[in-house]
Amino acid sequence: MKPTLKTFNKPTHIGELPNGTYFEAGHLVSKNAGWRTKRPVIDKNKCKGCLECYLYCPDGVIGKADGKVAIDYDFCKGCGICVKSCKFNAIKMEGER
């Protein structure tokens, strides 16, 4: 299951920090996609929902939303591997504005 973004409550006392480098897994508190220059966009008509792109995505940002394959742009770095992996040419890179 893909972890979702959580609200980060800034600690105010040292005792709120973990005593060592361990914490609950999947505790995502900040978006991480700032350096993307191009974004992959899925053509919903061409997509067969085979999820080949999900298998290849190195950052685990592809999943399903409302029953359709969807990309989480909060974490997608824009590498374009999903475009190459799609056998149906359903994904195209578009420039970030």
Partner 1 sequence: MTKHFLSGNEAFAYGVSLAKPDVISAYPITPQTIVVERLAEMVEDGSLKSEFIHVESEHSALSCAIGASAAGARAFTATSSQGLLYMAECLPYASGGRFPIVMMNANRSTALPWNIYGDQRDSVLMMDSGWIQVYAETAQESLDLALMAFYIAEDRRVMTPVMVNLDGFVLTHTYEVVDVPSQELVEKYLPPYETENKLDMDSPKNLGYSVGPDYNLEFKYLEHIGVQNAADVIVEAENRFAEVFGRSYPGLVDAYLCEDADYVIITLGTIAGLCRETADLLRTNGIKAGVLRLRYIRPFPNYEIAEILKNTKAVGVLEKDISFGNEGTIYTNVNSALYKAGLKMPSYNFIGGLGGRDITKENIQEAYKHIIDGGKKVNFIGLEVNADE
Encoded one letter per residue, x for contact with partner 1 by CB under 8 A and - for no contact, window 29-68 reads ----------------------------------------
* Contact pick of 4, 7, 12, 23 for partner 1 (by CB under 8 A): 23
Residue 10 contacts by C-beta under 8 Å, 6 or more apart in sequence? none
Q: Judged by CB under 8 A, which stretch of 15-23, 48-56, 68-76, 82-90 contacts partner 1?
A: 15-23
- Pick one of 7, 12, 19, 45: the residue that binds partner 1 (CB under 8 A): 19
Enumerate residues 6+ apart whose C-beta is below 8 A from 76.
Answer: 33, 36, 39, 40, 59, 61
Strand partners, 39: 94
Query: How far apart are CB 19 and partner 1 at their closest, in Å?
Result: 6
CA quadruple 30, 36, 41, 47: dihedral sign: negative
> Residue 8 or 88: which CB sits closer to partner 1?
8
CB 54 within 8 A of CB 42: no
How is residue 49 written in tokens? 């929902």
In the complex, the residues that contact partner 1 under the rule CB under 8 A are 14, 17, 19-27
